[in-house]
């Protein structure tokens, strides 16, 4: 992950190779949870800023007070790792982080040369999405020197010594591979939201047992969660270690829909920030009840079709961002279900015999979106044969009506009822001569404007491509002399 949020200024350029003692120090940034150089979620290990305070001629235990020089360096992504060196390409010189004039001498590897002395290293700006090391988080500094491992877990600072022989040491022990590793914890927070449905009387009620898929927008890692008896989900109130991500194995999307097992709203959820790690492969030792379930990232929350919401439309997905450690992000509004939209039509019609007659089929709709354009399309079937009817001129009998719903009386953006009557009804104009049977009008609803007539497929079926499913309304029609 590349940090592009800061403009770095390098004001100085090293000169020719000279004699001296290089600060042969490599600072490596590591994700504290995974122990790897792979960032969690949308966080980045690049762009961390370290302050180098140089105490000329002083051993580590004497490196206190005002330093002789101060420089700033930053981590960059190099050869698959996030590193910082005391070299020109890593120097930071800004108003916020003003570096002193750089040493004039540099070795063949591009590292600045210093006289013997100590250098205190302090991280002053963690990289995006990560936190500085403190005594109450999971971060630490790992120093390997002289075959010994030292961990510093209470502050983001340590001191090394240049001994004059080309070595960088930590209390008289030469640093292994000249490297200090900074293991930093990613910021973690929690997410919560509510789920409700609209009853037939227009009032809202909580909806329990609804399955949601939460997906990292950065990595694609996703897990399933379930609302509790109050229609609520909150990772903050869950115990992360309780059957962590067990709901993932209980819900499966299929070509025909889904399969749903014994899902439990009390099961914990944990995002590791890496889509390549499956639910069953998450290291349980990295899951903590003391930290948020979601690392620094933006998440897509999507309601899934499940047993609890059958008969209702799915709510639109929402996005939330976890940006701060210990933050609890509440979705700004509940996920609301309304009943499936449906339509019914006038039950009986009769028309006279004539070369040109017009029939108006009144349409009653329920739970359509407010302020939305729809097209109603109808076709007449012969009730006895069950096939599309033709009129006296041998033509299919079709009709359509484009209309836009109102916002008046809307509940959560949907209309409990909206009717097309009178001049707004769906019109069918046809030749009724010779039509001696009972007929049925089938109506289909399309979102958007589309006045093209319904057509038949090659096998004689009505082509309803694009029609909203499960909405078909029908009404009877008899042809004869109107009484």
pLDDT digits (tens, 9 = 90+) for 32-63: 988 888 899 999 999 999 999 999 999 999 99
Give me the mean pLDDT over the 373-396 stretch: 92
**How high is the pLDDT of residue 471?**
52
The more confidently predicted of residues 238 and 351 is 238
**How high is the pLDDT of residue 469?**
62
**How high is the pLDDT of residue 351?**
82
**How high is the pLDDT of residue 13?**
35
The more confidently predicted of residues 346 and 155 is 155
Q: How confident is the model at residue 470 (pLDDT cuts 50, 70, 90)?
A: low
Q: How confident is the model at residue 12 (pLDDT cuts 50, 70, 90)?
A: very low
- Select, from the ranges 30-34, 86-90, 118-122, the one with the highest average predicted confidence (pLDDT): 118-122
Kindly report which listed range (3-17, 186-200, 266-280, 458-472) carries the lowest average pLDDT score. 3-17
Asked whether residue 21 carries a pLDDT value surpassing 70, the answer given is no
User: Which two structure tokens, joined as six digits, stand for 144?
Assistant: 């390997």
Give me the mean pLDDT over the 215-219 stretch: 95
The more confidently predicted of residues 399 and 202 is 399
Give me the mean pLDDT over the 380-385 stretch: 88
Tell me the per-residue pLDDT of 342-355, one tens digit each, with 9 for 90 and over. 888 876 778 888 99
Give me the mean pLDDT over the 359-371 stretch: 91
Beta strands 173-184 and 26-31, pairing class: parallel
**pLDDT, the chain, mean:** 88
Q: How confident is the model at residue 9 (pLDDT cuts 50, 70, 90)?
A: very low
The more confidently predicted of residues 259 and 109 is 259
**How high is the pLDDT of residue 4?**
39
**How high is the pLDDT of residue 481?**
28
- Select, from the ranges 137-141, 320-324, 469-473, the one with the highest average predicted confidence (pLDDT): 320-324
Asked whether residue 70 carries a pLDDT value surpassing 80, the answer given is yes
**How high is the pLDDT of residue 393?**
94
Give me the mean pLDDT over the 151-177 stretch: 89
Give me the mean pLDDT over the 315-338 stretch: 95
Tell me the per-residue pLDDT of 254-304, one tens digit each, with 9 for 90 and over. 988 899 999 999 999 999 998 888 877 888 888 999 999 999 999 999 999
């Amino acid at each position: 992950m590349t940090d592009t949020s800061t403009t770095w200024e390098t004001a100085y350029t090293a000169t020719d190779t000279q004699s001296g003692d290089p600060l042969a120090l490599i600072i490596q940034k590591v994700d504290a949870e995974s122990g790897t150089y792979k960032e969690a979620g949308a966080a980045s290990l690049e762009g961390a800023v370290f302050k180098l305070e140089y105490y000329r001629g002083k051993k580590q235990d004497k490196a206190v007070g005002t330093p002789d020089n101060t420089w700033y360096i930053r981590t960059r992504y190099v050869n698959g790792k996030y590193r910082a060196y005391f070299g020109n390409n890593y120097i930071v010189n800004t108003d916020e982080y003003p570096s002193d004039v750089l040493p004039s001498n540099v070795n063949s590897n591009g590292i600045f040369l210093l006289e013997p002395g100590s250098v205190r290293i302090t991280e002053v700006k963690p990289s995006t999405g990560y936190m500085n090391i403190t005594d109450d988080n999971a971060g630490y500094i790992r120093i390997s020197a002289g075959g010994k491992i030292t961990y510093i877990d209470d502050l983001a600072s340590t001191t090394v010594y240049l001994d004059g022989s080309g070595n960088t040491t930590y209390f008289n022990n030469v640093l292994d591979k000249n490297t200090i590793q900074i293991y930093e914890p990613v910021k973690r927070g929690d997410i919560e939201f509510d789920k409700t449905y609209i009853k037939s009387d227009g009032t809202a009620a909580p909806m329990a047992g609804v399955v949601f898929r939460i997906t990292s927008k950065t990595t694609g890692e996703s897990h399933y969660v379930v609302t509790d008896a109050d229609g609520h989900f909150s990772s903050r109130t869950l115990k992360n270690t309780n059957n962590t991500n067990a709901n993932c194995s209980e819900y499966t999307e299929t070509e025909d829909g889904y399969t749903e097992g014994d899902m439990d709203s009390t099961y914990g959820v944990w995002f590791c920030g890496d889509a390549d790690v499956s639910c069953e492969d998450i290291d349980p030792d990295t899951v903590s009840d003391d930290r948020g379930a979601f690392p620094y990232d933006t998440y897509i929350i999507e309601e899934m079709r499940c047993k609890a919401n059958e008969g209702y439309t799915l709510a639109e997905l929402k996005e939330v961002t976890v940006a701060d450690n210990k933050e609890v992000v509440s979705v700004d509004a509940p996920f609301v279900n309304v009943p499936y939209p449906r339509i019914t039509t006038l039950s009986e019609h009769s028309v006279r015999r004539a070369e040109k007659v017009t029939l108006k089929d009144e349409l009653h709709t329920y739970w359509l979106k407010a302020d939305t354009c729809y097209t109603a399309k109808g076709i007449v079937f012969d009730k006895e044969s069950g096939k599309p009817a033709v009129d006296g001129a041998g033509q299919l009998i079709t009709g359509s009506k484009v209309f836009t719903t109102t916002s008046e009386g809307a509940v959560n953006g949907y209309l409990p009822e909206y009717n097309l009557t009178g001049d707004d009804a769906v019109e069918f104009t046809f030749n009724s001569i010779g039509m001696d049977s009972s007929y049925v009008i089938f109506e289909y609803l399309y979102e958007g404007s589309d006045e093209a007539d319904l057509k038949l497929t090659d096998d004689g079926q009505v082509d309803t491509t694009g029609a909203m499913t499960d909405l078909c309304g029908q009404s009877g029609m008899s042809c004869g002399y109107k009484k």
